[in-house]
Amino acid sequence: MVAVGAGSLSAVIVLAYLFIPIFVLVMLYKFVKAQQQRAAALEKSAMAAQEQAIAQRHVARAQEEQAKHLASIAAHLHQIVKPDNSATDA
Give the best-scoring range by mean pLDDT among 1-5, 52-56, 73-77.
52-56
More confident residue, 69 or 15: 69
Helix (H, G, I), strand (E, B) or coil at 75: helix
- Pinpoint the alpha helices (H) of 1-90: 2-81, 85-89
What is the number of residues in the chain? Answer: 90
Domain ranges of the chain: 35-77
Confidence of residue 3 (pLDDT cuts 50, 70, 90): very low
Per-residue pLDDT reduced to its tens digit, 15-60: 888 999 999 999 999 999 999 999 999 999 999 999 999 999 999 9
Q: State the pLDDT at residue 5.
A: 59
